[in-house]
Structure 1
Amino acid sequence: MTANASAPPARIGMVGVGRMGSGVLARLTPSGPVAAFDTDPTRREVVSGAGGVWMDSVAAVAQVSDVFITVLPGPDEAGAVMNEALPALRSGALWLDLTSGDPVRVADLATEAAERGIEAVAAPMGGGPADAAAGTLVFYVGGSSDPVARAEPILRELSPDGGIRVCGPNPSDGPTVKLLANALWFANAVAATEALLIGQAQGLAPQHLQALLADSAGSSTALTQHLPRMFEGDYLASFGIDRVVEELGTVAALARSTSTASPMLDASADLHRQALARFGPVPGELLGARLIEELAGRYLR
């Protein structure tokens, strides 16, 4: 998995073997051993089943890694892991973060890593567990050219058909683009739900209206690929509504820090906070859309 075929293979370590990480691990192990750890000890069986080598701590993984990969639920978890990993990583190692994180915190951790002689690339993933297993993830990559070149062979193992999007020279650039992409998706999903409910009230069948709007100037990925799942009562349980709110809060903080007005995204964030209060911190990426259905007193299914 290295750019130089004459060099010895990079020793890869990985922390985070959950819904996304298990698919990532399974795609990496055929090319060589991967040392892995997860705070949930029951994931040991997942690691061994994928051909990985279970380690007993974050530090133990870091100590044997040339490339240290993190696949974690969010910025808090990534920060906690890196606080333990950075002192254990050797100078010259690469930290490859696949977490959907906070750009400010990623930048701070990358700075600390650089002070220790450790390179950093942030490449948050677009897609779900099925994409991780199938190799159809999209990666939003931030980092300078040399670390990105080191990370690219690994990313190509995870996405052979070229789902690599280089966003900018700073590790924080990848998370910034991924957050903005998600923020637009969340806003598009709730706006499209409103449009479908308005049309339904006018006597249009939601499925027919969805097909017409999907072929219009108002189309979006949320409208074409995801909202139809609501016709079967599926609100996309692969991502928690609490994580949606967390990401939208991070986008709002970025806007405030640059004095950028964001009334539309702020409105979406407020609605998703209401959905979190209504449904609790449960899986459901489209629970903001479900809340709109409840407020309308009608459902698309």
Structure 2
Amino acid sequence: MTKIAFIGLGNMGSGMCANLCKAGHEVRAYDLSAEAVAKAAERGAKAAASLADAVEGAEVVISMLPAGKHVLAVYFGPGGVADAVAPGTLFIDCSTIAVDDARTAAGKADEGGFLMVDAPVSGGTAGAEAGTLTFMVGGPDAAFDKAKPLLDIMGKNVFHAGGSGNGQAAKIANNMLLGISMIGTCEAFNLAEKLGLDAQTFFNISSVSSGQCWSMTSYCPAPGPVPTAPSNRDYKPGFAVAMMHKDLALAMEAAKASGAAVKLGEMAERLYDDLIARGHADLDFSGVMKDLKGGL
């Protein structure tokens, strides 16, 4: 049994925390939302009244936070995790943040004598609940080896992407591809419909042809073919437009810093930015389909 502090109990963190509890670990859970903490306690965690309370005696600290500034503040700000735990403690940050922020955090952890990995995830809330997430992990071998048994509880696929920050690099490149492919999938279904093909017929053909992709077969943006997809719940997320835009913005920032050409990524970022500007931040990112059909 490992003593774990879990910080950040939102849509993703809540399921991840619950799976660690199910596996028999002692988990102290903390979030700014008292309601989220109470729900974590109902699922087996020990409710923590503060960050300091959560990390007291922790061997491992796991976090799922909104942005890099939150990660740096929680771990290394005044009264943060690094001030309260023993050297050698393992930090596993599962947030999706800028590559540079992840590398800054890793440097600070190393200076303090801590082990740290950046371990962003793919798989959405369903994967978090089911323990089938994909983890893309950046950090030293020793830190990865220590983190992997816990990541295996929360996920089905755990990849060591290389040094610190490489987990974030993998995540934002993957999600840029996802954003682009979802827009293309929406446009293809819309075109097929305009030309007289119903969604199921086009799905049956394209899902076993060269246009096949995850956005089609697992998360189809056209209502009908994939019953579990948000398209069958009027595009209730799922993975919200605001979250996709955040990841695309991180990808554009990284592309600019590295000199990578990402023309389709730039177009995708602008499209999701426009949806936010029109008041659709909480729509599922596959809601591009609804917009193409004039439903927004």
Q: Which digits, 9 at most, give the CA deviation of each residue in 1:160-216, with x for residues without a partner?
A: xx4112211x22111111111111111101111111111211111122112211111
Residue of structure 2 in register with 1:211 after alignment: 204
Residue of structure 2 in register with 1:24 after alignment: 16
Q: Equivalent of 1:14, from 6, 23, 38?
A: 6
Q: Equivalent of 1:199, from 167, 188, 192?
A: 192
Q: Which digits, 9 at most, give the CA deviation of each residue in 1:133-172, with x for residues without a partner?
A: 211111111111110110011111223xx4112211x221
Query: In the alignment, residue 59 of structure 1 is paired with which amino acid?
Result: A
Identity %: 25
Residue of structure 2 in register with 1:264 after alignment: 264
Q: Equivalent of 1:93, from 89, 94, 111?
A: 89
CA distance in structure 1 between the partners assigned to 2:185 and 2:33 by the alignment: 38
CA distance in structure 2 between the partners assigned to 1:158 and 1:104 by the alignment: 26
The alpha-carbon deviation at position 283 of structure 1 amounts to 4.3
Using the TM superposition, name which of 222-231 and 15-24 deviates more: 222-231
| Alpha carbons of structure 1 residues 217 and 17: separation in structure 2 relative to 1, 3 Å | same
Query: In the alignment, residue 126 of structure 1 is paired with which amino acid?
Result: S
SS of the residue 1:255 aligns to: helix
Residue of structure 1 in register with 2:229 after alignment: none
Q: Equivalent of 1:166, from 160, 169, 180?
A: 160
Residue of structure 2 in register with 1:106 after alignment: 102
Residue of structure 1 in register with 2:126 after alignment: 130
| Alpha carbons of structure 1 residues 85 and 293: separation in structure 2 relative to 1, 3 Å | farther
Residue of structure 2 in register with 1:5 after alignment: none
The alpha-carbon deviation at position 234 of structure 1 amounts to 3.7
CA distance in structure 2 between the partners assigned to 1:262 and 1:25 by the alignment: 35
CA distance in structure 1 between the partners assigned to 2:270 and 2:223 by the alignment: 21
Query: In the alignment, residue 287 of structure 1 is paired with which amino acid?
Result: G
The alpha-carbon deviation at position 279 of structure 1 amounts to 2.8
Kept in 2, the 8 Å contact 1:37–1:57? The answer is yes
Residue of structure 1 in register with 2:63 after alignment: 70
SS of the residue 1:279 aligns to: coil
Using the TM superposition, name which of 253-262 and 128-137 deviates more: 128-137
Using the TM superposition, name which of 133-142 and 283-292 deviates more: 283-292
The alpha-carbon deviation at position 22 of structure 1 amounts to 1.5
Residue of structure 1 in register with 2:149 after alignment: 153
CA distance in structure 1 between the partners assigned to 2:66 and 2:133 by the alignment: 16
CA distance in structure 1 between the partners assigned to 2:55 and 2:103 by the alignment: 20
The alpha-carbon deviation at position 102 of structure 1 amounts to 1.6
SS of the residue 2:92 aligns to: strand
Residue of structure 2 in register with 1:6 after alignment: none
Kept in 1, the 8 Å contact 2:221–2:289? The answer is no
Using the TM superposition, name which of 68-77 and 127-136 deviates more: 68-77
Q: Which residues of 2 match residues 280-295 of structure 1 at below 5 A?
A: 280-294=280-294
CA RMSD of aligned residues (A): 1.9
| Alpha carbons of structure 1 residues 21 and 242: separation in structure 2 relative to 1, 3 Å | same
| Alpha carbons of structure 1 residues 283 and 110: separation in structure 2 relative to 1, 3 Å | farther
Kept in 2, the 8 Å contact 1:18–1:43? The answer is yes
| Alpha carbons of structure 1 residues 71 and 200: separation in structure 2 relative to 1, 3 Å | same
CA distance in structure 2 between the partners assigned to 1:193 and 1:138 by the alignment: 25
Residue of structure 2 in register with 1:40 after alignment: 33
SS of the residue 2:293 aligns to: helix
Q: Which digits, 9 at most, give the CA deviation of each residue in 1:204-263, with x for residues without a partner?
A: 112211221111112110011112564435425122212211111110111111112111
SS of the residue 2:268 aligns to: helix
CA distance in structure 1 between the partners assigned to 2:281 and 2:221 by the alignment: 23
CA distance in structure 1 between the partners assigned to 2:181 and 2:257 by the alignment: 24
The alpha-carbon deviation at position 59 of structure 1 amounts to 2.6
Kept in 2, the 8 Å contact 1:207–1:228? The answer is no
| Alpha carbons of structure 1 residues 46 and 261: separation in structure 2 relative to 1, 3 Å | same
CA distance in structure 2 between the partners assigned to 1:122 and 1:274 by the alignment: 30
Q: Give the structure-2-normalised TM-score.
A: 0.90
Q: Equivalent of 2:111, from 115, 136, 139?
A: 115
CA distance in structure 2 between the partners assigned to 1:199 and 1:274 by the alignment: 25
